Structures are given as C-alpha cells and as structure tokens.
Structure 1
Amino acid sequence: MNASAQRNALTIDVEDYFQVSAFAPHIARGDWPRLECRVEANVERILRLLDDQGIHATFFTLGWIAERYPAMLRRIAAAGHEVASHGHAHLRASQQSRLEFLHDVVQSKTILEQLTGQPVLGYRAPSFSIGAANLWAFDVLREAGYRYSSSIYPIRHDHYGMPDAPRFAWRPRGMDGVLELPVSTARLGRHNFPAGGGGYFRLLPYPLSRWLLRRINSRDGQAGIFYFHPWELDPGQPRPAGLSRKTRFRHYLNLGRMEARLARLTSDFAWDRMDRIFLEGA
C-alpha cells in the first residue's frame, strides 16, 4: 500500500555497465561494440517489476543503446512509459562545445522519436554534467525542442553538482526556458542530502531512504524524483580490471540487494512519469 498520496517521479537512466563515466579511463569507447551487453535483460527485469506494481516511469535512454536495441525501446514505450533522452553517446555536457552538445541532443532525440513514434520532451545529462559553468546548455536544449531537463544535482560531489541550485523545479534561463527538475535532495541543517537514488540508495539503509523521501513529500510538499540504472540490478556483470577501490565500492556495493529494495520503494510510494507530474497543465 502506498504510504503517500503524493506522486513521485521514477526515472531510469538506460545505459550499460561499461558506459559509466567512472569506467572511462579503463574502457575505450571504441571497445563498446564488442563488449557483452546486458542492458536488455536488465531492462526486462525493470519492466516486469513496474508492471507488477502498476507503475509508469520515465526512461532516460542513450541514443547509442536505442540504435542497438530498438525492440527494447518500443517495448518500453508500448508499456506506457515515457521515453526521454540521456544524450547519444554518454558524453558529459561539460566536456562538449555548444555545437557538439547540440549535435548530441538532436541526434538522440531524433533516434528516440523515430523508434517510438512519440515526442521526446525530457533530457538528463550524463553524470549530471550541467552546472554553473555551462548553463548555456539550456538554451541549446530549448533550441532542440526539449521542454524539461533533469541535469543539475544540487549537492557537493567529486564528479558533479551545483549545491547552490534550487532543490525543486526552476527555469535557469528565464520563464520561457527549459524547466529544470533536479533529482531529489533533503535539506538537513545547512546542507542538501542526496535523497533521489543512485549509489546513495544502495549505500544507505532502506528505512533512511524512505524517511528522506517522505520528508520531501510531507515537509516540503513536493514530488520526489528518484533515479537508478539497469546495471544496478545486475551483480553478475563483468568487472573491468584496474578500477580504484573507491570506484569499485561505488559501483558494486549492494547490487544483489537492489531489486528487493526497489520493490519496497515502489510499494511504499506512489509513482508516475516525469511528464505527467511536471508538465501537465504547465
């Protein structure tokens, strides 16, 4: 039974294990096509979980993945889920020029729309790589036809983050610009605490994650935004050599417990797609 009448947004970043930014020094992009892909089987597990719970979600999907698994993408859309863009080749927005970024987000949007026959309204930058230094990216997203983004994480992190950014929906480039929808944080003291999934959800005890999301719903009166990756349900994935201890800890911690935790999370709260929660009536 859902503990809250407040709908929260459930989001999945559709990429494979070898595309994680922390693996970039160890796995060359040119090797991607020959590596074992596990994303299709993992997405099928997610689709079954969501179907069992009667939940619709938003799948931020790489164009690179969609090109190789078009049937998977069509199954996602046919099940009533929103398909949104995660860029084409998992390139950080902060490492691209304006023209390169435009090409990436247009290419991804075109591929996803052609495969699903549905408009793609949302974008999430790989590794939450939009911040204070590249807010121009929102002008490019608007030019490319996107209506919302979920690309700024208002926390301090060694790889990303804009801790002074608003915690809830805002328009970085003015009222006519793209709507930014940050992944959820809870305000504890003077700091934002991650409350929206990813590795933090695998690290923290489940009751704490549940408490944080309930705090956002009740104290802030806001919808939460939660995210995870298909590879996070896959403890059997290949393990590249040479990873640092910190990278191994972040990536592999509690993978075997993730599916059961997600089942609890989806049962404890009400969930829906990003576009239905934040764009309807906007």
Structure 2
Amino acid sequence: MINKKTFCNAFTVDVEDYFQVSAFEKYIHRDDWERLPCRIEKNMECILALLDQYKIKATFFTLGWIAERYPKLIQELVACGHELASHGYSHIRVTQQNHNSFFDDVYRTKALLEDIGGVEVRGYRAASYSIDRTCLWAHSALCEAGYFYSSSIYPVHHDLYGIPDAPRFVYQPILDHPEFIEIPITTTDFFGYRIPAGGGGYFRFYPYWFSRWAIKRVNEYDKQSALFYFHPWELDPEQPKQTGLNLKTRFRHYLNLHRTESRLRQLFVDFQWDRMDRIFLDNAVISGEHHE
C-alpha cells in the first residue's frame, strides 16, 4: 500500500464533449456541434458523484463553449469545492492561432468562466497540449490575460504535440514573470526514456498496474507530485460512435472506455488527490528552472 501521507497528486478533468476532441476535427465541423447530441451533463454528473464518493477535490479545465451552454454544471462543480480553470473557448489548438487571437480567446474565456462560476480562474490548459516550440509566446499572453499557471506542455515525443526536452516538473517559462508557472503533464523517466504517466488515452491503453507503478515512481523516486487528467467522454462507452474514422483515431478514442471507471476507482484508493492550485500554487516549491 502506498503511503498516502507522502505526496498529494493533482486530479484534473478536461471538460469537453466527445465531438470536440482534436482527433475528430477532420470528421466533425464546429458548425455541427450544436446539432449533435451532447453527453456532457450526464458524464459530468457521474464524475462529480464519483469524486464526492471518494472525497476528492479536482481541477476542471473547462471550455467556454460548454460553460456558456451549461452554466449550472459550472456552478455545481464550484459549489462542490472544485477548482474552475480554463480550456479556452472552443478547443482551438494554440498552433492554429497567433498571439492576438490567442490572447482574445483566453481573456474572453477567463471572463466568461468567472462570471458564471463566481470565482477567480487562475489556470489554463491548451487544447491537445498544443503549446510547443512554435508558440512559446503563449505563456506571455496567458500572463497578460491574468492567469497564474498553465498546464499545457507534454514533455514527450508525440505525433500531435509535445516538447520532448522540456522540464518534467513545475518551472517558470517567463524570465520577467517568475510568479507564472508551467506545470507539465506527468512523465516518468526510465533508463533515459520519458514515459507518459499523466492519464488520458495512455491510462486506457496501459494495464492499470503500469499507471500505478509510474505514478508511484514519480512520488517516491522523483519526490514530486504527479498530475493526472482525463475527459468526461472517457467514462462513456455508450457515446455516439463516429463513422469514417481512420484506424488510429478509432483506436485512440474508443479503446477501453468501459474500463475507465473501475480504473479511476482504484486510482482514488491507491493515491491521494487534490486540486491543481492547492498543490502547485498555494503550497508549491518551484524549481526556479527556466526553459525556452
């Protein structure tokens, strides 16, 4: 049994519906979102009930598009004591924007979430972890927009995202603003290889024991808090199935959806969890490392 008193890890949810994922961009146009059956209310209610059962507080990186249409969901998660954070308005990757359009998006979304939720929004996560080497200016834009942290970089090789040599743990990406931090998605280092350990599709792909081993290694070997994420649609094996998908997209999206809930329950038993802001802002020890 893991010593829960040693490290508290951050549990996060990227609040978007199944039809809003980047992998479906070629198949589902944004103009069609309004006409598709939404599953977010049902799935969010399941998540909130699950977290309440295990007495866990989490951070919800929420699309402005979702908050605008389902304000009661936002108010409920805030009332339950969870952290409300921004995922941008409509899941547009940072690599598809310039500085001005990105600033307008994150500033607008922050104001919208704060108006609906009635709390300060301090954190941001880019769609599909899309802050990469080509758009490191995004950190300055976020700081200008009033955010305190980003959780948008995955320090791995991947065909859709990643900065492989980025720091693995909390660092300060802007020299002139050391109060702003980047909190990378968790990886574990094994014989010089970085292995994704932050959740999402990897959590469904790996057997559970591997995810448990990787997070435990981050806590016990690296002496760091881990960060875990997943999406509401990953709890929903009954979601509408899309047609015409290529094999890779179909595999990544639908693999082991029926196992997610049972694995999450085990994860809640094996580790201690809390909100991002409490772990990385309120009580954090930042390395002071700078990376560009």
- State the TM-score, normalizing by the size of structure 1: 0.98
* Partner of residue 197, structure 1: 199
Q: Which of 265, 270, 280 in structure 1 is aligned with 2:272? A: 270
Tell me the residue number matched to 2:33: 32
Q: Which moved more, 1:175-184 or 1:103-112?
A: 175-184
Q: Distance in 1 between matches of 2:35 and 2:283?
A: 45
1:281 & 1:188 partners in 2: Cα distance?
Answer: 28
Equivalent residue letter for 1:156: H
3-state SS of 1:279 partner: helix
**Distance (Å, rounded) in 1 between the aligned partners of 2:135 and 2:98:** 10
Q: Which amino acid aligns with 1:137?
A: A
User: 1:140 matched to which residue of 2?
Assistant: 141
1:250 paired residue number = 252
Paired residues, number? 282
Structure 1 segment 10-159 matched on structure 2, within 5 A: 10-159=11-160
Quick one: which of 173, 189, 196 aligns to 1:187?
Answer: 189
Any idea what SS the aligned residue of 1:162 has?
A: coil
- Distance, in Å, in 2 between the alignment partners of 1:3 and 1:248 is 38
Say which SS state the counterpart of residue 143 (structure 2) adopts: helix
Find the partner of 1:212 among 211, 214, 219. 214
Following TM superposition, by how much is the alpha carbon of 1:3 offset from its aligned partner in structure 2, in angstroms?
4.0
Extract unaligned runs of 5+ from structure 2: 285-292
Q: Secondary structure at the match of 2:282?
A: coil
Q: Structure 1, residues 54-82: CA drift from partner, whole Å, max 9, x if none?
A: 00000000000000000011000000000
Give distance in 1, aligned partners of 2:123 and 2:150. 5
Unaligned runs of 5+ in 1: none
Task: Give the structure-2-normalised TM-score.
Answer: 0.95
CA RMSD of aligned residues (A): 1.1
Partner of 2:289: none
Q: Which segments of structure 1 move beyond 4 Å, counting only runs of 4 or more?
A: none
Partner of 1:236: 238
Partners of 1:123 and 1:151 within 8 A in 2: yes
CA distance in 1, matches of 2:187, 2:120: 29
Structure 1 residue 116: Cα displacement: 1.0
What are the within-5 Å matches in structure 2 for residues 157-168 of structure 1? 157-168=158-169
